[in-house]
Amino acid sequence: MNLSRLSRPLGLSAAALAVGLLVGCSSVPERPVALQQAQRQHERAQADPRLAQHAAEEMRLAGLALQRAEQAHRDGQPRADVDHLAYLSSQRVALAQSAAEHRGALAQSAGAGAERDRMLMTQRTLEAERAERALVQAQQQGQRKDQQLAQADREAAAKAAQAERDAMASASRDASSQAQIGDLEQQLREMDARKTARGHVLTLGDMLFDSGQATLQPGGQARIARLAEFMLRHPNQRADIDGYTDSQGSDQSNLDLSDRRAGAVMRALVERGVAADRLSPRGQGEAMPVASNDNAAGRQANRRVEVVFLLPPSAQIVSPVSQSR
């Protein structure tokens, strides 16, 4: 048997196998730029001790978002989906950085307030000690009148000190509350909110539904993400989500449609990290029209979803999110 003839096919098979392996390896998708940037941003944030101290939960959520983006890339999902998931991870890192700065500033302010209180307490203690020494001297000298006067001074100083402490505490609480309200109003103005009789109204015109449908159009996702980011920055705020339609169709069908649309907005916010127990979706049907239903423009204005933020009475803010039916 000619062994050289057998060796040639075997050699060709090994070469073909090697070429196949190289081709298979070349089919692994290249990591998208957006995913690489999101990973570097997350690594830098992890190295910042302020985020670990003041924004641990936000960083945990950012890490989960990055894992989902990497898994989508490994699964070979479309580049647009991977880029979107990477964008969400970057947004969560940015949110963590903002939360860390805000909470760090609050902690620093609280420390300064504690130092002022300590100094005030020391001053009042010295005053009380001086009053006590005066009282002892009066007792030793047997001067009852001086003793009574010292006692009165002592009580007056104590009352004044207590009144001053109460005033400082009240002013601090009022300033903190007003600062929070002002922050909320400023952020809504930055999202093009306008003030009405009901409060601050935010119209999100690119968040659309197909006619007769309750599925959000892709064009509305960016505005939903911005609204979710606002609520994540203010975790104590609740919101009602009210859906409305025009007068076309039956009352029951309009009520059902408006309820589904309110639910779609709620689900979109929950998917971006907003707790479901902070949201209350309600379908209002064709109730409370904002324009006439006798023409197309009026009916389009009446097809909407309104997100109503439940804020303190001194700063109630209502954000309507206009939709098309």
Average pLDDT over residues 83-89: 92
Range in 36-45, 236-245, 316-325 the model is least confident about: 316-325
Q: What was the pLDDT predicted at 318? A: 44
Architecture of domain 194-322: 2-Layer Sandwich (3.30)
pLDDT at 25 over 50: no
Q: What average pLDDT score do residues 135-151 get?
A: 77
| Residues whose CB is less than 8 angstroms from the CB of residue 230 and which lie 6 or more positions away in sequence, other chains included | 187, 188, 191
Residue of higher predicted confidence among 259 and 137: 259
CB 229 within 8 A of CB 274: no
User: Considering the chain, what is the average pLDDT of its residues?
Assistant: 79
Task: Report the pLDDT value the prediction gives residue 128, as an integer from 0 to 100.
Answer: 76
pLDDT of residue 50: 93
Indicate whether 299 pLDDT > 50.
Answer: yes
Percent of the chain with pLDDT over 70: 75
pLDDT of residue 288: 84
Which pLDDT tens digit goes with each residue over 262-284?
Answer: 898 899 999 999 999 999 899 98
pTM for this structure? Answer: 0.44
Q: pLDDT grade, residue 74 (50/70/90)?
A: very high
Between residues 170 and 144, the one the model is more confident about: 144
pLDDT above 50 (res 86): yes
Q: How confident is the model at residue 144 (pLDDT cuts 50, 70, 90)?
A: confident
Tell me the backbone φ, ψ of residue 237, rounded to 5 degrees: -85, 140
Average pLDDT over residues 64-74: 93
Q: Where are the domains of the chain?
A: 31-183, 194-322
Closest to 97 (Cα-Cα) out of 39, 45, 62: 45
User: Which range among 147-161, 168-182, 286-300 shows the weakest confidence by mean pLDDT?
Assistant: 168-182
Q: Would you say residue 68 has pLDDT above 50? A: yes
The mean per-residue pLDDT over the stretch 28-52 comes to: 89
Task: Please answer whether residues 266 and 284 qualify as being in contact, where contact means their C-beta atoms are separated by less than 8 angstroms.
Answer: no
Q: What average pLDDT does the segment 186-198 reach?
A: 69
pLDDT band at 22 (very low <50, low <70, confident <90, very high): very low
